[in-house]
Amino acid sequence: MARSSQTQMAVLGGLSIEPMTAYALREAIRDVLGHFWSESFGQIYPTLQTLEEEGHVRRREGPRARSSVFEITGSGTARLIELLTEPIRGTPPRDGLLLRLFFGRTLGRERCRGLLEAARDTALKNLQGYESLQTQLSAQEGDTPDWPFIEVTIRAGIHHSRATIAWADESLAALGDPAGHPEPEEPQP
């Protein structure tokens, strides 16, 4: 029972906004929740089947041959609330960037700087993405009851990106400017 309640949460949540095909659901999860969630086909299809058997979603004929549009049922909404109320199951942390930086003495200062610069660039791009998303969606959806909650998740991305940029800049300064003196003398004796 309960094939990955985490996936069920995302699937039921998606369908709670709008009925769609499994394919569209995966695209919606990738495009809309992509900054903090992901699901693959291999999870979505079996989960939809389970949810259908349990009566939490209903399958209707889709716009094409052999395609199905899924919609959430009353019991599905109840199940969604139940899942959303469950305690958050935290994934054990696995940050490949920090692991590499931690062993920076072995990896080498220059390569660490490279990693930090790449992280900074990525964070900057993400930040710009979040900001334009916020502007765009607030115009489009600013009046819907979902908007305040959606905006909270976008602002999480904004805060996180800004923190990453500030941290990377600070760290690049701490690891020394390579220009002129690739391995600077220890500043403090």
Partner DNA sequence: GCAAGCATGTAAAAGGTTACATGATTCA
Partner DNA sequence: TGAATCATGTAACCTTTTACATGCTTGC
Interface residue list for a copy of itself (CB under 8 A): 6, 9-10, 13, 16, 33-38, 77, 80-81, 84-85, 88-107, 111-112, 115, 143, 145-146, 148-153, 155-156, 159-160, 162-164, 166-167, 170-171, 174-175, 186, 188
Number of H helices, E strands in the chain: 8, 2
- Choose among DNA, a copy of itself, none what residue 35 binds, the Cβ cut-off being 5 to 8 Å by kind: a copy of itself
Amino acid found at 16: S
To DNA, the closest distance from the beta carbon of 33 in angstroms equals: 12
Tell me whether residue 44 or residue 80 sits nearer to a copy of itself (CB atom).
80
- In the chain, the N- to C-terminal Cα span, in Å, equals 63
To a copy of itself, the closest distance from the beta carbon of 24 in angstroms equals: 17
Q: E-strand spans in 19-176? A: 57-61, 68-72
The token pair that represents 63 in the structure block: 């716009």
- Choose among a copy of itself, DNA, none what residue 124 binds, the Cβ cut-off being 5 to 8 Å by kind: none
For tokens 């979040």, the residue is 130
- Choose among DNA, a copy of itself, none what residue 4 binds, the Cβ cut-off being 5 to 8 Å by kind: DNA
Cβ atoms of 150 and 137 closer than 8 Å: yes
Tell me whether residue 90 or residue 145 sits nearer to DNA (CB atom).
90
To a copy of itself, the closest distance from the beta carbon of 54 in angstroms equals: 18
Query: Which residues form the interface with DNA (CB under 7 A)?
Result: 2-7, 21-24, 38-43, 45-46, 48-49, 62-68, 92, 94
**Burial state string for 116-141 with b = 16 or more CB within 10 A and e = fewer than 16:** beebbeebeebbeebeebbeebeeee
CA–CA dist 112, 187 (Å, integer)? 19
